Amino acid sequence: MQPDQWSSRLGLRFPAQGLEIGARGRFIAAQERVPEGIGPSDSYNLYDIWLRWRPAERLAGLSLDLGIDNLLDEDYRPYLSVLQGPGRNIKATLSYNF
């Protein structure tokens, strides 16, 4: 049985500027209800932030996406995983649709 997980997402949109910013929190509870021979897991919290810019008029079709996953570089191991969860991930995407 997977541990309980809650998530929350907050964001702001600025349509006149074509801008969207936001944050997400994921809150994973410890799992102590485990089968015999399987160790319990610890609780952990992950936080992500992002920014999206899609200008209008002459630059319509352009999109800039920036984000940071696991902002606080939390060291965690998902339940039943043999690998550590990924650390901080910084990403950027620039695209143009025509």
Cβ atoms of 29 and 44 closer than 8 Å: no
Write the pLDDT tens digit of every residue in 44-73. 999 999 999 998 888 888 999 999 999 999
Number of domains in the chain: 1
Domain that holds residue 31: 5-96
Which residues on adjacent β-strands are paired with residue 33? none
State whether residue 57 is helix, strand or coil. helix
Cβ atoms of 3 and 28 closer than 8 Å: yes
This prediction has a pTM of 0.86
